[in-house]
Amino acid sequence: MSEIEVNSARWIGRDLHLELSGTGSRRAVLIRAIREAIRTGRLAPDTPLPPYRSLAVDLGIARNTVADAYAELVAEGWLTARQGSGTRVARRAEPLAAPRRRVRTGLPARPAGATHNLRQGQPDAASFPRTAWAASARRALNAAPNEAFGPGDPQGRPELRLALTDYLARVRGVRTHPDRIVICSGFAHALRLLFAGVLRGPAAVESYGLAFHRSILAAASIRTLPLGIDEHGADTDALAALPSARVAVLTPAHQFPTGGPLSPERRLAVLDWARARGGLVLEDDYDGEFRYDRRPVGAVQGMDPDRVVYVGSVSKSLSPAIRLGWMVLPEHLVDDVLAVKGVREAWAGVTDQLTLADFIEGGHYDRHIRRMRRRYRDRRDHLLAALAEHAPHVVATGIAAGLHAVLRLPGGSEPATVEAAARQGLTLDGLADFRHPDATGPAPDGLVVGYATPPDHSYPAAVEALCRSLRAAAQKQARPARPAVGSADPGPTRPKPAR
């Protein structure tokens, strides 16, 4: 068997990998190789093939051999040939051996039949600033030094760390220096790095949060201890009852998912705890730029940079497809985190880092945030107006900031409401999905509604489907239960209608 890489400059820069094997003439071997590439789906319908003259030169065989092979495959229906468009795989030449399968996106699977998506966790993908981002990419690549295209520095490009130092100080009140910033791919990556030998022992976490984040800590053999949540954020007084905890993982600006900020008193209390315990606060500032009806809430890190690890990313502000985040570390942790990360950058691409640095320094990031803040505020207002008109029994909380709202439901109605939403073709999350399995205390019913997720044109229909779901669930809960079929005396056991 021999493997031949075909790379013809006249084939519009395309590469074609063929495996030539078996016995017979060069023509027969070439025909079998092309057929096999089509059968297995490696050559999709309408894919152009190299001109036979170029292919003949690259393979070192006669032009007539390639021309004859192409002609036979055209006659058999595998290929098509037209003047001016060259030779292509026939559109009806579907792969025979490649099974049809669903492409995995890495996002939560949408139930079959769902047409509306109000899941939390992602911004409106259609609003990504493509033109400004592309312009920043061109400028950044033109200005980048040659060494930028060598092995990546695990701490991150200095251009981005400098831009972040200024931006975070100005917008989030973070106090740091470029040397104390380590670039990562997002909060989940930061968790993996920090708990892979840098931070040890049980960690206090909020009783509501992402199960995915808790699973990362569990994989690192870190036990998570839940802190209660109320309208003032995490119950930091409860830290005193957790003597083994040395780390508190919090979302102070906008508790996820319930929505309230950590009160000033509790901010001071958690820092006092960290100093007395010799511990750290891990601050997840996942959507700190988006605020609507309240004054800006700065980062806890600005109050004590030596006791707080600040983590941010662009997953909510720009796109989760740009795998860029940052850790602002106490000075004594920088070397330890870099030792875990390794000698070369394996996660964050250099070109994206350079582009983001230009995007921030040129003011494009600020302009994008302001534009999206207005858009998301309008969406939130649309949601609240629709609820007031069509589902007045539902109370929305956590609405002063962020990209989602929590809809508080009557007790016991969450499962029925999620089920009703599915019948309306609507995908969303119940509040119970975010509750820590060891949490104690009240477990209110609710929905977590991501109003940033749908594109503008489909958002009103998604809100209408949500309101229909809420009404249907409320009517079902208020409807008296029917007696069992065949019951001899249903009267005494028939439940009374809810008032």
Question: 278, exposed or middle or buried, with CB in 10 Å at 0-12, 13-18, 19+?
Answer: exposed
**Structure confidence at residue 482 (pLDDT):** 56
**Structure confidence at residue 94 (pLDDT):** 46
**Structure confidence at residue 311 (pLDDT):** 98
List of long-range contacts for 473-478, beta carbons under 8 Å, 24+ apart: 473/409, 473/413, 473/416, 473/417, 473/419, 473/420, 474/391, 474/393, 474/410, 474/413, 476/416, 476/420, 477/410, 477/412, 477/413, 477/416
Domains of the chain by start residue, with CATH: 2-89 (1.10.10.10), 128-366 (3.40.640.10), 368-478 (3.90.1150.10)
**Structure confidence at residue 14 (pLDDT):** 57
**Structure confidence at residue 480 (pLDDT):** 60
* pTM for this model (two decimals): 0.78
Q: What angle do CA 45, 48, 52 make, to 5 degrees?
A: 130
Write the Ramachandran bin of 180: left for phi over 0, alpha for psi from -120 to 50, otherwise beta.
alpha
Rg, C-alpha atoms of the chain: 29
Give the integer Cα–Cα distance in Å for 485 and 478.
21
Give the integer Cα–Cα distance in Å for 449 and 406.
6
Per-residue tens of pLDDT for the chain, all 499 residues: 444 444 434 444 455 677 767 788 888 888 888 888 888 888 888 888 888 788 777 777 888 888 888 888 887 788 888 877 788 888 764 444 444 444 343 444 445 456 889 999 889 999 999 999 999 999 999 999 999 999 989 999 999 999 999 999 999 999 999 999 999 999 999 999 999 989 988 999 999 999 999 999 999 999 999 999 999 999 999 999 999 999 999 999 999 999 989 999 999 999 999 999 999 999 999 988 898 887 778 999 999 999 999 999 999 999 999 999 999 999 999 999 999 999 888 888 999 999 999 999 999 999 999 999 999 999 999 999 999 999 999 999 999 999 999 999 999 999 999 999 998 899 999 999 999 999 998 899 999 999 999 989 999 999 999 999 999 888 877 766 555 544 444 444 344 444 3
**Structure confidence at residue 16 (pLDDT):** 67
At 417, the amino acid letter reads T
